[in-house]
Chains A and B, each alone.
Chain A
């Protein structure tokens, strides 16, 4: 294989592996910026993956599948919201619980409906989000590095990939340039002040949570009906937690979130590539090292050795209106 092929191939798979992280981390951004910890990202991702696969299977439409994924993800969000905003329960526990519910419920329903051990039936290509070929991609493939880059990284991705990269600046704009964004950032730091200003803390946080569910719906859908062609047991496989790590690594900021997700996606792609190969000087690096690297990096960051990561101040604390 040529070096060019390897690099382009790696970049392509970095992008593909980053997409679910980007959607999920941005979802977490809305939730955590509003002061609601969201350990349940993983579960939402899994539930929406299942829902999108089921809906896409019955309707044959990927767009309806996406809608189904988003809907279920928002329902999970609302349960989390009810527990942590209205009932003032423990947000971590609620997140852990929803992860368990999602892991169990998807397989139980899948098994009951399709009898394939929890998997959903293979989808036809028409029911999936498939690769979009850009004009001239075929011709460009033969034209050196940039041509290949155009053909296999820029072109040839499915619609959700492009959507993910469009979402990043939109989220940035919403968080930093709109009134809602200002209030969102404020409510995660000092809900009391927001309340004093006559803005409902509860409604604000519910909106943040619903947006989180909405974005998570994309990541689950991507897993089930864009990257693969069916739902598989536990197909999120810890990606929700990696996204959480990326969110923290990016210090809860939208543009850095994208880069953190790309970095973690690259680590994933690199470890796949390196499996069984040995590196110069160090020899064979175990794949587990790359799997742990995102978490190690995040801990190093949290320790304040590379800048400081300070979570929203009111995160995790239920808001009680003073009487």
Chain B
């Protein structure tokens, strides 16, 4: 057996390898920080402290993590069917429209818990709708889904800007955004969650969406590993020919999976649009869809892994914001770069250390056997 597919203990694949990859990305980031004349260790401590050092920091971290949970699940869902959905960004963006329309329609008449189920549906349906055309093109016309979903990110962005500037913007307003939602369109913060740990959330926008995200983690896990549909999806993802043999309908499975993937991405909008900004704004997704790709890969497409990877990226986001505040030399762009490096090493170069680890562990195994 060669090094490429020699088995490794589970904890090495799921914990040690991602950790080593992350470490490499941080090492290089540290080098860049040192290059521009700053102290990387100080930066790291500011970052961690900003993200985890206070109730407010944790609140922000989990708020960002919520975005990545949804987009990560979205990417993973499609991935299990062998589809690479890099359109989560656009699907989340358009999902925001569905969410906002519900909120705009209901916010003045009903309390938030009545609005929320409809908003979830609205966001999911709009997100799914935006995934439908690429899914249909892949299933029926054989168009490469990677390419069509990229195209749809841009088409979606143009559409949303048009709607916000020409249709949804209240008359007389300057910035391209909808009016602010009344209380019925605002999701409550999770102050009580922080209070349980004897801390305070402060102004952090951590809201009910986080709990919905956790529920969706469980739902996706159950769907993929415990249902017949999930079985079909995984079979299709691993071997198209075997799936055909097993009577799994290709087009239908692809389209349904992509609708679910788009729906999950769309639900991300809930967290930002109704949970924090309380209005629909231009570019509110801010790259979370792309981070979802990394989150999904790093989490090995498993909801538990996705949850952990999402929190990690949440730490990077929040810690990075704090970093740019405390050490002005390190701007927010540094976080964009670190993010890129983490995606590179944890995603594209995920097996960088595999051959070395295989050597170490197979030697150890043969020693143990001898």
Contacts and interface: CB of A to CB of B under 8 A. Distances in A.
Contacts of A275: none
B239 interface: no
B211 to A, nearest CB: 29
Most buried by A among B148, B166, B349: B349
Interface in B141-169: 141-144, 146-148, 150-152, 154-155, 158-159, 161-162, 165-166
Contact of B146 (A94, A316, A323): A316
Contacts of A111: 329, 331, 333
A3 interface: no
A149 interface: no
Contacts of A194: none
A295 B4 contact: no
Interface string A54-80: 000000000000000000000000010
A154 to B, nearest CB: 32
Contacts of B86: 39, 92, 96
Nearest to B137: A303
Nearest to A244: B150
Given A87-B352, A112-B329, A295-B151, A97 B347 contact: yes
B155 A94 contact: no
A167 to B, nearest CB: 24
Given A112-B35, A299-B143, 14 more contacts: A87-B349, A89-B349, A104-B337, A104-B339, A107-B336, A111-B333, A112-B37, A241-B150, A288-B159, A291-B158, A299-B148, A302-B147, A302-B151, A320-B4
A311 B147 contact: yes
Nearest to B351: A87
Nearest to B143: A302
Most buried by B among A37, A100, A288: A100
A23 B331 CA distance: 31
A104 B344 CA distance: 14
A288 B161 CA distance: 7
A105 B141 contact: no
Contact of A100 (B35, B155, B290): B290
A291 B155 CA distance: 8
Given A88-B351, A93-B293, A289 B340 contact: no
Contacts of A260: none
A96 to B, nearest CB: 5
B250 interface: no
Given A89-B349, A92-B86, A299 B2 contact: no
B interface bracket (residues with beta carbon within 8 Å of A) = 35 or more
Interface string A227-265: 000000100001001001100100000000000000000
Interface of A: 37, 39, 79, 82-84, 87-94, 96-109, 111-112, 118, 233, 238, 241, 244-245, 248, 286, 288-289, 291-292, 295-296, 298-299, 302-304, 309, 311, 316, 320, 323
A288 B162 contact: yes
Contact of A292 (B2, B35, B159): B159
Contacts of B265: none
Contacts, number: 162
Contacts of A244: 147, 150
A87 B349 CA distance: 6
A94 B294 CA distance: 10
Interface of B: 2, 4, 32, 35-37, 84, 86, 133, 137, 141-144, 146-148, 150-152, 154-155, 158-159, 161-162, 165-166, 287, 290, 293-294, 297, 329-331, 333-341, 343-344, 347-352
A89 B348 contact: yes
Helix, strand, loop or mixed for chain A's interface? helix
Contacts of A107: 331, 333, 336
Contact of B337 (A105, A295, A311, A320): A105
A93 B292 CA distance: 11
A93 B294 contact: yes
A88 B341 CA distance: 17
Given A292-B154, A303-B141, A316-B146, A105 B351 contact: no
Nearest to A291: B158
Contact of B340 (A99, A288, A296, A316): A99
Contacts of B146: 37, 92, 316
Contact of B333 (A103, A288, A316): A103
